[in-house]
Structure 1
Amino acid sequence: MTSHPARQPRDADALVVDDDSAAVEELIECLAKAGLSCLSAGNGGQALQLLAEGHRVKVVVSDLRMPEVAGLEFAGRLAKLAEGSRPEVIFVSGHAGFDDAVEAIRLGARDLLTKPVDGPRLVRAVKAALLVRQARERAAPVAETVTGGPLDRKRTALKDMRSMRKMRSQHFPTELFSDPCWEMLLDLYDARLAGAEVTVTSLGVASGVPLTTALRRMDQLTEHGLIERVSDAGDKRRTIVRLSQEGLDAVERFFDTYLNRKAN
């Protein structure tokens, strides 16, 4: 399938990426009925070309299984874009496995929907991602003023810890470091810095342990007053999990101590 952008670069709420033209038309129809503007592309390579040509989109809805540049590789390339031009990502798939879900969330995907996609759920997911994007845009001027400051250094330290986690998994059996509590706190802190929301399900999947284990650890973190769970105002079936004020203060103190020791 070929892409169908306007000749001149333009803005759109969503970019739908799938090599199945019928699926693209169906998804765009659902989003258009909800008043959302859309572009389309047949694979990740075409989508990246649209962005390179100057088309700006706020949310990407992408299939996982595509020729040339597949969904996860596509998301990895999007993650390298500058903060102001990087869209939120929602994946759709009929064959997503656990490993796919974990990797998608690690790459910053907002959601992973299964095919056939439920139209109302797709619209809710895209609108929720648009709200996250708006919050990120409002926070951008503040972030620019603290480049090189405490917040910027904490983001760098967090990135270093994530890199260490990946390197550790390459040399040691994963089960030796399977307790997810610390990883959850880091993921929630990362979301806090980005102005993003995290659902209980996505946090559990990203933890890399069975969901039942992840839920037990969330209960423990809640009992210690480090996290809190609230209903999603836009979708009562979803539960948002975030650092409590006590949890945020604790993580902030950790990074302050870590950075002070690293500087000395």
Structure 2
Amino acid sequence: MSMTSPRATRRVALGVSYRGTQYKGWQSQPGGGTVQDALESALAAFAVEPVKVLCAGRTDAGVHGINQVVHLDTTLDRAPFSWVRGTNAFLPSDIAVQWAKEVTPDFHARNSAQGRRYAYVLLEAAVRPAIEAGQVGWVFRPLDLAAMEQAAACLIGEHDFSSFRSAQCQSPTPVKELRAIRIRRCVAPVGMAGAYWRFDFEGKAFLHHMIRNIMGCLIAVGTGTQPPSWMRQVLAARNRQVAAPTFSPDGLYFLGPQYDPVWELPTEVPGMAWLPD
């Protein structure tokens, strides 16, 4: 009787972009309807075997991913371009694998990440967005850049971010390190009174709804509803009730995790060129 040796297991990392508008967030749910559900279904169809993935950072319903990184373990031996094209053949049009790379077993999409980057795109205009609906946040009052930068400055560093944490947050601690917040008013389209704004956030990890809650407070300061000094009071209170309401998920983009260069994983994908700069 001949014996077949078991096939070697490989770990593959994938970069995934998605528009989160139609999905219930990243994480798989019993009723389906999430980005993870769609991706695992497509991977299973391509690999002709069940496939489970683990992501670098979960995103909420309506939040978009530009370079979400996942890893999977498989016995399938395929070239990187096959993982990209083969999986994309089974994915809906608003999700696409951007790249694939075989990695060593000690790589972990979440635990190997040294940081995470997000961007929030906001339309400042008298009239709500239509073409960009679901892809940008919206404010109809003019924003004060200097006031928002002053308010954001007190958030940089390691703090207890309880005031910006949702009740559903599962993090064991509210203490997180926020490394940078960059705010810029982008060029307004010709003939338009308003403008697009871009808010960039960089940190080691984030609490559930943390960026959207910070955005709500920054908008309150930017529109003059609150002074810049109010942000420090909100942070010190460690109480979600004193902060502004959670801002819309529409304009929030997970730009991707940051890894040690030793892994040689892509940090930029074509979708990043779509964001205003």
Identify the TM-score tier after normalising by the shorter chain.
Answer: under 0.3
TM-score by length of 1: 0.26
Structure with a larger share of its residues in helix: 1
Specify which structure has the bigger relative contact order, considering alpha-carbon pairs within 8 angstroms and separated by 6 or more residues: 2
- If you compute each CA radius of gyration, which structure gives the higher value, 1 or 2? 2
More strand by share: 2
